Structure 1
């Protein structure tokens, strides 16, 4: 791999890792943030309020996809990448220094909500732009490999969030963590983001990349001047497929990275340091499996690897039912057994989504599909998991996720049969 390509992947992937780090730190620390910004006599209610803000941030993602996706598709990818990480860094810094409810009342929650909305806009364009850039940068025959590399960077951010939370919770008491220690991981994310913001200044532009071989002659004709909605209207099936490809992946992702850890800490009262340590170990295992996922997909075809692994995921998600009561052993078993499931799900979905759209509307199309899928089904997964648990219907949650996975396979197979898949086969 040329040095210039490696540097581009570092700047691109490192910035994406910081985005995911900042996003996941909030989710992991929701049970500490909730009482500070949404005080309640019931700790679970405070945590669920914080998770509701977590979900609202996802609702802002379509705005980022629509507005900045069109800019990226028409003016270029680089400037939007700089905006994306810049807005994430600045809002993380604001969250770090925002006073709590005890100091400024309801304004604390308002500021937190506004920051999460801005971060939602940022991640609404960051994720599809990264998958688009990776596909356009990849040499022929290495599409899934480059997509898996981006997945590895995402995992670095997720694991980094767990590791930092584990470190902070290990060196201070639970009271100190809940009172002010939760701010430290946000400050670390803001500093790291500044480094990758600087590195991204040297990224090459790929809007007219010679490596892109996914646009056929029909796509070139489709690229004639048209409004964004007219372009996407011609690709309704591809757009709907992206929504559910993302929905299944992110429902699994946020269940393991946010939902289960918060269930352990809040409902089952597990030790915070132990929970963060197990979450980190699970994340490391997932990251180690990403290269294998990329190699398998490039050799066996992306489409085949996707639908077979997604069908397996629909069955294996039921292992969450093992953790229905206190017990770190059971929590560890669920987290580690879920790692291969998470690796194949997260290692492929971005590449699959990017191959469903042509270059001239790829960032917009993938961005909108991604934003709707994450907002509707991914970001809400931790809340839904805790809600089912709180209402004595825990068995309904894996059924819900399995249905999302099966729908994604059905739609993808239909899109593939109709020629909507444009790369990787």
Structure 2
């Protein structure tokens, strides 16, 4: 075997190409999630300027209602643009995804308030969030499909883990930039114009990765995977919409498996990133600054572990690592039961113990989902399964956690999470035994 210094020029060039692709993909993913999270973090500043009512609670709730509309648009983005990515190619849709996020974020950063343009301020803000919802709806499944098709043999999970680390970096960066902005800008200035700074940062960062993504290669027609409407490695013309969806229906068991693979991961993700911190602040009245600090540290730990999870999966096989890690996660979910009363020490332990739980759950789920669909309908199938899993089980997890806790049934939530994880393993094994897992088996 050649040493590192004896690599051929062709091997070195290909390695650099993959690194650039990972940077363009991962950096764009980070910016997308940064922009998505920044709005939610700054809702209390946005509400009074665009939905003035005289009540700070009502104004903030109006801003958060617009945030929720963005979530509702995500399944639509996955369906529409997922189909398009399976018809005409990945690259064009990826450019649209980050381009629309950059445009909408910059518009929000520069948008005049209600006092200047009246009701149109709220209407334009709503339109921007819908566009952002469409963008984030396709970003995750499209990037997951692309990385499976781009990664060299034996490195699929590693590349997927790096991509997941970028996502986590974007989420943590959103909190960090908002924190730094509020620390530097005076409160009155922050309420007037300072809140726009994090949006400008996101838009500028998006332009950088939009430029990088323009050089990404197309993978739809060059993976070598034959499908009913391909000949060899070339596809003569874009697949018809009906044919793409017929293939998704043909792989409906795999679609169901994707739903629960995503559901188990997202339920835990939103429990630790949103549910537990809100439980600490609202129910147990913990110090908000300390809760923010602990949550950020937990997020950094998760991001650091993602690449290690990917390396392990490539070494032991993706299928084996997924099954083993999901089953191992089941008993660890019950650590949430330790936080049944106020206490920052307990909260800190639960959050930090949750870091490896999240890393093993979130570090693989996107890659695993992408391996369950063939190239010809991969983005559509993964996008639809992802949308259902997130909307049905991810976004509802924080509410369910607090509701069960408030009704004296906090024990039921980890049971619920364990059932989702077990169902994901059962469905994955059924698909695997049918020989439908295409990568890393």
For the superposition of Structure 1 and Structure 2, which TM-score range results when normalised by the shorter chain? 0.7 to 0.9
Report the CA distance between 1:292 and its aligned residue: 1.4
The alignment of Structure 1 onto Structure 2 pairs a total of residues equal to 420
- DSSP 3-state at the match of 1:2: helix
Is the contact between residue 38 and residue 109 of structure 1 (CA under 8 Å) also seen in structure 2?
no
Q: TM-score, normalised by structure 2?
A: 0.84
Which residue of the other structure, out of 82, 92, 99, is the alignment partner of 1:69?
82
- DSSP 3-state at the match of 1:227: helix
Query: Structure 1 residues 187 and 315 mapped into 2: Cα distance closer, same or farther (>3 Å)?
Result: farther
- Superposed counterparts of 1:199-278, under 5 Å: 199-209=212-222, 212=223, 215=225, 226-278=242-294
Is the contact between residue 169 and residue 272 of structure 1 (CA under 8 Å) also seen in structure 2?
no
Is the contact between residue 170 and residue 273 of structure 1 (CA under 8 Å) also seen in structure 2?
no
Q: Distance in 1 between matches of 2:413 and 2:113?
A: 33
> Which residue does the alignment assign to 1:148?
161
- Superposed counterparts of 1:2-13, under 5 Å: 2-13=15-26
Which has more radius of gyration? 2
The range that moved more, 59-68 or 109-118, is 109-118
Task: List gaps (5 residues or longer) in structure 2.
Answer: 1-13
- DSSP 3-state at the match of 1:202: coil
Report the CA distance between 1:91 and its aligned residue: 1.9
Q: TM-score, normalised by structure 1?
A: 0.87
Deviation per residue, 1:338-390 (Å, 9 max, x gap): 11011111110111011001111111111111111112222233333344445
- Superposed counterparts of 1:391-402, under 5 Å: 391-402=407-418
User: Is residue 333 from structure 1 mapped to residue 346 from structure 2 by the alignment?
Assistant: no
- DSSP 3-state at the match of 1:60: helix
Is the contact between residue 141 and residue 366 of structure 2 (CA under 8 Å) also seen in structure 1?
yes
User: Is residue 157 from structure 1 mapped to residue 173 from structure 2 by the alignment?
Assistant: no
Report the CA distance between 1:262 and its aligned residue: 3.5
Q: Distance in 2 between matches of 1:259 and 1:32?
A: 22
Q: Distance in 2 between matches of 1:107 and 1:391?
A: 42
Query: Structure 1 residues 38 and 251 mapped into 2: Cα distance closer, same or farther (>3 Å)?
Result: farther
Query: Structure 1 residues 95 and 396 mapped into 2: Cα distance closer, same or farther (>3 Å)?
Result: farther
> Which residue does the alignment assign to 2:30?
17
Report the CA distance between 1:299 and its aligned residue: 1.4
The range that moved more, 183-192 or 407-416, is 183-192
RMSD: 3.1
Q: Distance in 2 between matches of 1:177 and 1:386?
A: 31
Report the CA distance between 1:397 and its aligned residue: 3.0
Q: Distance in 1 between matches of 2:273 and 2:317?
A: 28
Q: Distance in 2 between matches of 1:27 and 1:263?
A: 17
Query: Structure 1 residues 247 and 130 mapped into 2: Cα distance closer, same or farther (>3 Å)?
Result: same
Q: Distance in 2 between matches of 1:337 and 1:366?
A: 30
Query: Structure 1 residues 71 and 216 mapped into 2: Cα distance closer, same or farther (>3 Å)?
Result: closer
Task: List gaps (5 residues or longer) in structure 1.
Answer: none
Is the contact between residue 89 and residue 189 of structure 1 (CA under 8 Å) also seen in structure 2?
yes
Q: Distance in 2 between matches of 1:103 and 1:33?
A: 14
Report the CA distance between 1:21 and its aligned residue: 1.2
Q: Distance in 1 between matches of 2:56 and 2:153?
A: 55
Query: Structure 1 residues 284 and 191 mapped into 2: Cα distance closer, same or farther (>3 Å)?
Result: same
Report the CA distance between 1:260 and its aligned residue: 2.8
Report the CA distance between 1:276 and its aligned residue: 2.8
User: Is residue 58 from structure 1 mapped to residue 71 from structure 2 by the alignment?
Assistant: yes
Query: Structure 1 residues 341 and 47 mapped into 2: Cα distance closer, same or farther (>3 Å)?
Result: farther
Query: Structure 1 residues 87 and 421 mapped into 2: Cα distance closer, same or farther (>3 Å)?
Result: same
Report the CA distance between 1:242 and its aligned residue: 0.7
The range that moved more, 248-257 or 339-348, is 248-257
- DSSP 3-state at the match of 1:357: coil
Which residue of the other structure, out of 97, 108, 123, is the alignment partner of 1:84?
97
Deviation per residue, 1:121-168 (Å, 9 max, x gap): 101111111111111111111111111111111121122122223323
Q: Distance in 1 between matches of 2:18 and 2:72?
A: 34
Is the contact between residue 86 and residue 244 of structure 2 (CA under 8 Å) also seen in structure 1?
no
Query: Structure 1 residues 323 and 152 mapped into 2: Cα distance closer, same or farther (>3 Å)?
Result: same
Which residue of the other structure, out of 284, 308, 312, is the alignment partner of 1:296?
312
Q: Distance in 2 between matches of 1:257 and 1:413?
A: 29
> Which residue does the alignment assign to 1:129?
142
The range that moved more, 46-55 or 321-330, is 46-55
Q: Distance in 2 between matches of 1:323 and 1:26?
A: 29
Q: Distance in 1 between matches of 2:294 and 2:56?
A: 26
